[in-house]
Amino acid sequence: QSQLVESGGGLVQAGGSLTLSCTASTRTYGLYHAWFRQAPGKDREHVATVDWSGDVQYYSEFSQGRFIISRSDAKDTVYLQMNSLSPDDAAVYYCAAKLGGPSQRPSDWTWWGQGTQVTVSS
């Protein structure tokens, strides 16, 4: 029974947009949340991180300017708005949470969702 549940994945054409959601089933006060992605045969890589307030965001280079990470007003849902998608963005996208501060290393994150598939056609 995961504490984080992703949704919103699907098939989009190159150049299109998609918004993913991650909903927490427990209290989220003080937690950082992040999106990671993993394509077949590749390592899991960091996409974006947001602090608990939602005011501080961190982006990996490939997502900077194209993706937006945000929180709901109630702080229980984290979104990833993805724009200008390309086939290189196709992957399983995972939501993660941790205490303390941001990190780009998957092993530093404590809680994980099951992932949602994003497919981009060219």
Over the stretch 4-24, which tens digit does the pLDDT of each residue have?
999 999 999 999 999 999 999
Q: What is the pLDDT of residues 24-81, one digit of tens each?
A: 987 778 899 999 999 999 999 999 999 999 999 999 999 999 999 999 988 889 999 9
Check residue 2 and give its pLDDT: 61
Q: Is the pLDDT of residue 3 over 90?
A: no
Q: Is the pLDDT of residue 83 over 80?
A: yes
Alpha-carbon distance 7 to 108, whole Å? 23
CA-closest candidate to residue 120, choices 84, 79, 94: 84
Check residue 82 and give its pLDDT: 98
